[in-house]
A and B are shown apart, each in its own frame.
Chain A
Amino acid sequence: MFEIQMGPAGEVVMAGRLDATQCDVALRFLNTVPKLRVIDLGRLEYIASMGLRVFLLTQKRVKGLGTELKLINACPQIHDIFRYAGFDRIIDISCASA
C-alpha cells in the first residue's frame, strides 16, 4: 500500500511502498502541489528504481521553477537506496536520526 498526502505544515507526506505500480500516482500528486519543497519520507518503507525516478523527475521540474526538494526523515534503508544511486548528490535527503 502507498499513501501520499499533504501534511500539516505544507509538506508532502509519503507512506508505505513506492513500487513501480504507484509511481504514476505519486508523480500526478506531486505535479499538483504548488511551491513543492519538503517531502517527509518518515513512513516510506520501500523504494526501487522506478520510485527514484519520481524524485529525479520532480527535482528536475522544481529546479526549473527555482527551488529544490528537501527530503526528510528517511529511514536508513531508504537513505541507502538513494546513496547507492548517487541521488544524495543531487537531492537534499536527511535521515530520521540525523
Chain B
Amino acid sequence: MIEQRVSVASDAAQLPVLTRFLKEFWSAAGLPPAESAKFELALEEVFMNVVMHGSPAPGTQVEVSVILRDGGLTLMVENDGPAFDPLLLPAPDVAASLEERKVGGLGVYLVRQMMDAVCYQRVAARNQLRMTKRLPTGGASPRVAPGV
C-alpha cells in the first residue's frame, strides 16, 4: 500500500496545488497516464464542492489522501465544515434541452461516472468523501482482483 496526504486551505486558488500533488503521486507510482484525468476531475469536483458549500470560513483546511491498494486507487477528501453530503444533491437532467439546462449540479454526477464507488461519511465531526476506482493496468500492487 502507498498513501500520501496533503492539506490545503479551503480556497479555489489552492486547486493547482492539489492537481500537482496528484500528478506527482501518479508519476512516482507509475500509474497509467490515461486514467489520471478521471481522478483529477474527481478531486476538482469534490474540492470545489467543499470550497463553495462546505466550509464555514475562509482558511479552513481540507485534507486530501491518495491511497493505492490492491490495484485500486482511493481519493479521500476530508474537512471540518458543517455536515454536508454532496451525494444527496439532486441529479442533473442530462437529457434536458438547452433552454431547460440548469447551470451547475454536474460535478457530483461526473464523479459518479468516473469512479467505481463514491461514499460519504460523517466521522468525528468531519466530512469524509471517499472515491475509489480500479486501475486497469500498471498499478503498483500485483494483487489485482479479477473482473472489471
Give the interface of A toward B (CB within 8 A). 17, 19-21, 45-46, 48-50, 52-53, 56-57, 59-60, 63, 77, 81, 84-86, 89-91
Contacts and interface: CB of A to CB of B under 8 A. Distances in A.
4 tightest CB-CB pairs across the interface, nearest first? A86-B94, A49-B106, A49-B107, A90-B98
B58 to A, nearest CB: 16
B26 to A, nearest CB: 13
Interface residues of chain B: helix, strand, loop or mixed (majority): helix
Interface in B69-118: 92, 94-98, 101, 103-104, 106-107, 109-110, 113
Contacts, number: 64
Interface of B: 12-13, 15-16, 19, 37, 40-41, 44-45, 48, 92, 94-98, 101, 103-104, 106-107, 109-110, 113
Interface residues of chain A: helix, strand, loop or mixed (majority): helix
Contacts of B98: 56, 59-60, 63, 90-91
Given A20-B15, A60-B98, A89-B95, 9 more contacts: A19-B44, A21-B12, A46-B37, A49-B107, A53-B104, A85-B109, A86-B94, A89-B94, A90-B97
Contacts of B113: 84
B101 A48 contact: no
Contacts of A48: 40-41, 44-45, 107, 110
Contact of A56 (B95, B101, B110): B101
Q: Could you say which of B12, B106, B109, B113 has the most chain A C-beta atoms within 10 Å of its C-beta?
A: B106
A86 B95 contact: yes
18 contacts: A19-B15, A20-B44, A21-B12, A21-B15, A21-B16, A46-B37, A48-B40, A49-B45, A49-B107, A50-B48, A56-B98, A56-B103, A84-B94, A85-B92, A85-B110, A86-B94, A90-B101, A91-B98
